[in-house]
Amino acid sequence: MLEPEVLQRALGTALRTGGDFAEVFVEDKRTSSARLDDRKVEELTSGRDRGAGIRVVVGDTTGFAHTSDLSEDGLGRAAEAAGAAARGGGGGVRTVALTAVSAPRPYEVRTRPDEVAKSRKVELLLRADHAARAGSGSSAVKQVSAGYADSRRCIQVANSDGLLAADEVVRTRFGVSAVAMGDTGMQTGYEAVARTMGFEIFDDVDVDEVAAKAVARALAKLAARPAPSGKVPVVIAAGRGAVLFHEACGHGLEADHIEKRSSVYHGRVGDMVAGPHVTLVDDGTMGSEWGAFSIDDEGRPAQRNVLIDKGMLTDYMWDFLRSRKAARPSSGNGRRQSYQDLPMVRMTNTYLLGGTEDADEIVRQTPHGVYVASMGGGQVTPATGDFVFGMTEAYLIEDGEVTLPLRDANLIGNGPEVLRNIDAVAGDFAMADSGGMCGKNGQSVPVGMGQPTLRITGVTVGGTAR
């Protein structure tokens, strides 16, 4: 990365016009991916993106410039542009002394994916394709596709408060999609595994099993019946149902929404916003989970932040600038998609803690309803908490038993209402391992999520069955 002296001079240039705060963010990211479709390798790519973003803050105004030229002249020009955008005119010289800050790595990579031959990555795709076709035992499987991707992201952050920090994050992802054809038409099943770790992920992950799960989901949907419509009890399985809470309440707890008063949770710290079974945590330090890192994109160490404690709202998620304005520490939630973007408040690994009840018993105590094994994308309005989410794998609950698979449908509800209506939480906590990407204001970042099996007393299912 860059020498501290070069960063110091760039910060001095950025502050020349009288800025209150300046920051240099340097990024060097290498990526590779491979995709197989119908037994053919359709894509095999690699790339590298390197550059710096410089921001200058004057009062409530932020000037920002980015450049792919990491020479001292290139940084200087970007610093001048950012300073001019924040405040025009001349000023004196301000010297910044940088002090290195470090944080423990949540996970130590053993095998860097960029040091693994591409042929080994393609072999994984071919193996998964073979397993999906040979292991299904059904001619209904008509198409199989598989994808592999990895990234190695090195960042360096320096600012006018004297902070100097760096991090390296390696992520690896593998997924399989299967298409089955039957009387109900074409049905798709998908399974993926993604972690913040190197190629050693495949010491634990069997791509044959990933393929088998994708095929099983597609075949199960061939016998699916229409989902019920109306408000019913919903049991959400451990792990992948957690996207509901990521969206339904997570975004509303980000400090930028709070600052704008555009969140239903504004001004509610200390209030009971959920049932006593609910403890919600955001934790960027979680080992090899998808949203983990050592420092955020503003140089602050990742942290474990309890947001809701046994139903009580205890805090929000904060980036540096908003925490500075509020005269409090950052929570380590300042994140950006790349050096070309400004940081904003973002989640890391967000999850509900496990309870004490038995997951099977929760189902047995539910006479009728819907069992959600996996959820897809959705959307939420933070100002109200209203949401819509897709169920990608769900089953009917009849007489306390999980029975028939259901066709894809939506869950429709309100985040605060759902939190209050959680009446049972199991002790089988699990993180979703599929590797989600969270979009906000045009930027996308990796996030993790998790939960135990739990029951919501009533959520509207947008099915078609009467």
Q: d(Cα 455, Cα 378) in Å, to the nearest integer?
A: 20
The pLDDT tens digits of the residues spanning 421-447 come to 999 999 999 999 888 899 999 999 999
Sign of the Cα pseudo-torsion (417, 420, 422, 425, in order): positive
Sign of the Cα pseudo-torsion (263, 392, 444, 105, in order): positive
Q: Is 384 helix (H, G, I), strand (E, B) or coil?
A: coil
**Residue in the structure block whose two tokens are 């110091």:** 8
The pLDDT tens digits of the residues spanning 127-153 come to 999 999 886 666 888 999 999 999 999
pTM of this prediction?
A: 0.92
Residues of the chain with pLDDT under 70: 88-98, 135-138, 463-466
Pick the CATH number of 113-154+167-221 from 3.40.50.150, 3.40.50.300, 3.30.2290.10, 2.60.40.10: 3.30.2290.10
The pLDDT tens digits of the residues spanning 302-348 come to 999 999 999 999 999 999 989 998 999 999 999 999 999 999 999 99
Give span(s): CATH 3.30.2290.10, the chain. 113-154+167-221
Helical (H) or strand (E) element with 160: none
Contact by Cβ (8 Å): 411, 234:
yes
Q: d(Cα 112, Cα 459) in Å, to the nearest integer?
A: 44
CA 448 from chain centre, in angstroms, equals 5
Q: Is 293 helix (H, G, I), strand (E, B) or coil?
A: coil
Q: d(Cα 374, Cα 235) in Å, to the nearest integer?
A: 11
Q: Is 209 helix (H, G, I), strand (E, B) or coil?
A: helix
**Residue in the structure block whose two tokens are 């045009």:** 442
By DSSP bridging, strand 368-381 and strand 229-236 are parallel
